[in-house]
Chain A
Amino acid sequence: MLFFSFFKTLIDHEVTVELKNDIQIRGTLKSVDQYLNIKLENISVVQEIKYPHLSAVKNVFIRGSVVRYVHLPAAAVDVPLLEDATRREAANEARKRNEK
């Protein structure tokens, strides 16, 4: 849930999503779900010349499984908090594993 939790905080920030087919889409993150499906608004394709068919698209819903990278806005990331959240996540996972 860490990534989901994390991406939720990026809602309404501009992110660049790089898909596994190399298309990079920049847009405002509007929504993300537990599968890390992503909804972007006001998108623009980074290499627009290469993908002219997307030039008219304004909103996209991206299936989480086709995302390769998400470029984050550094200013919107709280690093120490994220570090701790990561530690917690790891601890939780470890606990769950032990419980099993």
Chain B
Amino acid sequence: MSFFGFNNSGHNQAAPGFSQAHNPFAGLSHRDDEGEALEFDDTYDGLGDQLEETGDDLNDDTFGGDVAPTGHGSVGRDFDFFGQTSKVANVIEEEHMRFARQQPPSKVAQHTPAPAPQSYDYGYQQQQYARPVRTGYEQYKEEPPALDDLQVDLSLWGVAPKKQQQPAQAAAPSPAPARKILSVEEVEAQMRAQAKKSPQPPPQQAPGMAPPPGLQQQQYAQQQFFNNGYQYPNMQQPPQQVPPQHFAPLQPQVPRPQDTSREPAQPAHAQPVQILQRPQSKHAQVPSPVAPSPVNRQQPPAVQTPQGLQQPHPGQGVHPTQILQNPNRLSGEHGQPSPISQPSHVAAQTHPGHPAHQGHRQQQSFSQQQQAPLAPPQVAMLSKEEQDAYLAQEAKRAKRNHKIFVMSKDNGIMTPQDKNFITRIQLQQLVQATGNPSEFGTDQSLVEDFYYQVHSQIQGGHRQHPSQPLNNFAQTYLFQTGSRQGGMRRHNRGGDNHMQRMEQQVQRAVEAAKNKPKNKQLVIEGSLGKISFSNAKTPKPLLNIKRTESSGEVQRPGTGSRTQTAAGGLSRKEALRSIEAVYDTLMKLEDHERWRPPPPVSEVEQPDEVQKSIEWGEQTARLNAKLLEALKVGAPVGVYPVHPFITLLSFNKTIKVMQRVFRHLTHQQRLTVLTLIVYSLDSMDVVKGAQVNNTNDIRFNAAMKEKVELFMLNVMSTLFNFIGELDLDLVAQLLEIVSDRNVGAIAKSKIGASLLTMILSRAEIIKHAGGGNEHSWQKWNYQYTRFFDHLAPHLPYIFPGSPTSGEDVYVWQLLAAIGIGASPDQQQTLVLQVKDRVMDTVTLAKTLPVELSTQRLNNVNLFMHSIGLDVGLLA
């Protein structure tokens, strides 16, 4: 065989790893090839056929002589035990055979110096022998080789001094050498055996060749395969060393070394090898040589009966072999060294071997099972307890082997891929059964873990449960992000964008007006967009709290509510309770929103869906009504000094929630809210408590400042968006309402001024968009004039702080909004009213760094451009 050919016969045997999945008989195939057609061919890859048998000679050089020699297949097949699922049974049988063969050779090797070279020879010899053996076992094509081996072994043994099988051995004497390289286990076994040997001087054995350690080892190996527990016996066996004798006696069974002589007649039975193993065990077991022999004899018959084949060699008792293994244990355990017994064992083993093979085949290779029954005879000698234990063990082992056998039928049916596939399916089912946390416990987890769930949604961090409902929540809170972030500490971020956007749009509107100042027909599409209330450049308005009016402190929720309580409005407690009701209802609404049923495609086909939809709508309406009630929007106007809703709006809580509330209101309800706010502007604390004073820097009230800012971001932006949807008639009505109030006071607050700007700019946008009819415009113009007349006197006083404060952007925006829609006369009035402020700012700008200066002038220009002027003209 070539070096790289990896001939199965030679190589696999040596390396267990290679042969495992392979055809266990691959190695045998070679032998078979010579003389007979093998059925193995079907499973065999055919490589063996291609190999040159003669070429194997070099294998020794390449791989070391030990490996190749004895049985090509024998060594490696041990590992193949379960290799082929379909032939497992056969394999097991063969395994026995192989072991049997191996043992003899090993023994030979040890005993006889020749071994190494023998290996090759051995193989050939085996083949020769094989044929005779086959005759008996023709049925099992695979087996023949094994038989051959056995014979060879026998012959080898025969070579040994002993008498028994010698004839057969003689035929194949020299070659038999040990083929195996000793495995670690074998080595250990040998060592143990030796150790044990010393204690056990086998007188009887003496004649025969010392039981070759190799045999023991082999046996050992076998045992390991079949019976893990039985290793001991092998150990003990070595001392007996009578192996050759044993082989001979095989047939006669234990008692008769003499029988061995008979055995020669039975050369055909190569099986002895198997027996050998067992005999060893027996040796150990049997303390007294004499006694054992008889017993064994007696026992065998009973055992044999089961095995029809064995009968021909009645005395030899197939059972012994089987028994041997078990006995070995016992012996090992008991530590009873009986030289005499050993021979008997050997004999028994040998005999059993033959029958055993047959029986094995019949039984489908469960030698172990057979063994169990056989054991009893030997066991008989043991104490009852021991017997019981032994039997129990045997039964256990048999059971286990049977199980393995039964299962082994299906070995290899599934590929690893198949297994993976199944595993995946199972996992899937597991997940389904357990429930996907995200789907399964959405509601539950929301109840228990609301903050975390929503928070992680918003943060976008670990989105473990991206489910629709959660997203709804996340949206709810994300919506507020701007106001939230701008609200307190950092109103640069969320609010900034908003502001900048508005500012830009106001600027654009002003640009448009400036470009076509005199042309009233001019319509610039989308030019007048939004108005910025303030921005980063124009921080918060300074507060000027007047003692005469209710001061900021008074307006603080605490004191304010007390006043209101006295006046028949909401008490603070009632207000807070009401606000909580608002929140509660709002959350229910938001929760409810998640269950909004999909719009039914067809009312006819999906009555259920329609029903659901209707129910959902009803529930929504109920919640909405509850929300409005909690908001006190429906309270009669004018009954209370301060409308309850406005009272609620004096709480930061309410201010914060307005944006969310608005989303759940209908258009009409929003309009109501807006009207209420506009109507109550001058009584709102954010207006009343935040009046500006243009003479001195505003007195600083952090709480009010924050509140105004909060209001701007939450309420005003919401209102701004809403006003953007109103038509001219409604805007005119709003202006009318404002005009009825204290316009001066309103304009003196940032909130008020911003709201005015919104209303005016909305009208301007409608005008640019060509909206509104003639009647509406007349109405608007009337209202505008009225409003202007009310406001004009207050114009000089609506600026926050001195020009140096730099917080008057929103005022310029308001002026711009007024100026755009003003008639020439009104514009002139405007200019007159704010001329001082303009001049002061321009003057101031000259003293400021370029950036600040530009900023200030731009602010002024917002207004100047709206009336067709430019700061540049003043310079």
Contacts and interface: CB of A to CB of B under 8 A. Distances in A.
Contacts of A74: 489
Contacts of A6: 451-452
A78 interface: yes
A95 to B, nearest CB: 9
A78 B452 contact: no
A85 B451 contact: yes
Contact of B656 (A2, A8, A80): A80
Given A84-B587, A87-B580, A87-B584, A78 B448 contact: no
B480 A80 contact: yes
A81 B450 CA distance: 9
B447 A92 contact: yes
A5 interface: yes
A81 B451 contact: yes
A72 to B, nearest CB: 13
Interface string B640-672: 000000000000000010000000000000000
Contact of B583 (A9, A79, A84): A84
A88 interface: yes
Contact of A5 (B451, B458, B459, B583): B451
A81 B480 CA distance: 10
A9 B587 CA distance: 21
A9 B452 contact: yes
Interface string B450-493: 11111110110000000000000000010010001000010000
B138 interface: no
Interface string B114-152: 000000000000000000000000000000000000000
Contacts, number: 55
B45 interface: no
B477 A87 contact: no
B448 A5 contact: yes
A93 to B, nearest CB: 11
B580 A79 contact: no
Contacts of B453: 5
A33 B656 CA distance: 32
A89 B448 CA distance: 8
A91 interface: yes
A57 interface: no
B869 to A, nearest CB: 45
A81 B457 CA distance: 12
Nearest to A89: B450
Interface in B587-625: 587
A79 B455 CA distance: 11
B868 to A, nearest CB: 45
B188 to A, nearest CB: 48
A80 B447 contact: no
Tell which of B450, B480, B489 has the most Cβ of chain A within 10 Å.
B450
Given A87-B580, A87-B583, A91-B584, A81 B447 contact: no
A46 interface: no
A89 B452 CA distance: 13
B452 A81 contact: no
A2 B451 contact: yes
A82 interface: yes
Contacts of A8: 449, 452
Interface string B811-853: 0000000000000000000000000000000000000000000
Interface residues of A, number: 20
A1 interface: yes
Interface residues of B, number: 21
Interface in A31-90: 74, 78-82, 84-85, 87-89
Contact of A1 (B449, B455, B456, B583): B449
B495 to A, nearest CB: 15
B477 A80 contact: yes
Contact of B451 (A82, A91, A92): A82
A4 B452 CA distance: 9
Nearest to A91: B584
Given A78-B458, A80-B484, A87 B449 contact: no
A78 B484 contact: yes
B451 A87 contact: no
Interface in A5-37: 5-6, 8-9
Tell which of B451, B453, B458 has the most Cβ of chain A within 10 Å.
B451
Contacts of B449: 1, 4-5, 8
B624 to A, nearest CB: 19
Contact of A88 (B489, B580, B587): B587
Interface string B766-803: 00000000000000000000000000000000000000
A92 B450 CA distance: 11
B443 to A, nearest CB: 12
Contacts of A91: 584, 587
A5 B455 CA distance: 10
A9 B584 contact: no
Given A87-B584, A87-B587, A81 B454 contact: yes
A2 to B, nearest CB: 6
Interface string B17-28: 000000000000
A41 B345 CA distance: 71
Contacts of A88: 447, 450, 587
Nearest to A74: B489
Contact of B455 (A9, A87, A89, A92): A9
Contact of A81 (B458, B580, B583, B584): B458
Nearest to A85: B451
A38 to B, nearest CB: 16
A85 B477 contact: no
A81 B477 CA distance: 7
Interface string B396-419: 000000000000000000000000
A28 B450 CA distance: 23
Nearest to A84: B587
Tell which of A78, A87, A92 has the most Cβ of chain B within 10 Å.
A78
B462 to A, nearest CB: 9
Given A78-B477, A87-B584, A87-B587, A9 B451 contact: yes
Contacts of A80: 477, 480, 484, 656
A1 B587 CA distance: 19
A88 B453 CA distance: 13
A74 B490 CA distance: 12
A5 B450 contact: yes
Tell which of A4, A8, A84 has the most Cβ of chain B within 10 Å.
A84
A5 B580 CA distance: 22
Given A1-B449, A5-B448, A87-B587, A81 B455 contact: yes
A89 B459 CA distance: 21
Nearest to B488: A79
A31 B357 CA distance: 66
Nearest to B653: A83
Contacts of B452: 5-6, 8-9
Contacts of B583: 84, 87
B18 to A, nearest CB: 50
Contacts of A1: 448-449
A2 B451 CA distance: 7
Contacts of B480: 80
The 5 closest A-B pairs by CB, nearest first: A85-B451, A5-B452, A1-B448, A9-B455, A5-B451
21 contacts: A1-B449, A2-B450, A5-B449, A5-B451, A5-B453, A6-B452, A9-B451, A9-B459, A78-B458, A78-B477, A80-B480, A80-B484, A81-B455, A82-B451, A84-B477, A85-B450, A85-B451, A87-B580, A87-B587, A88-B587, A92-B447
Interface of A: 1-2, 4-6, 8-9, 74, 78-82, 84-85, 87-89, 91-92
Interface of B: 447-456, 458-459, 477, 480, 484, 489, 580, 583-584, 587, 656
Given A5-B452, A8-B449, A79-B484, 20 more contacts: A4-B449, A5-B449, A5-B450, A5-B453, A8-B452, A9-B456, A9-B459, A74-B489, A78-B451, A78-B458, A78-B477, A80-B484, A82-B451, A84-B587, A85-B450, A85-B454, A87-B583, A87-B584, A88-B450, A91-B584
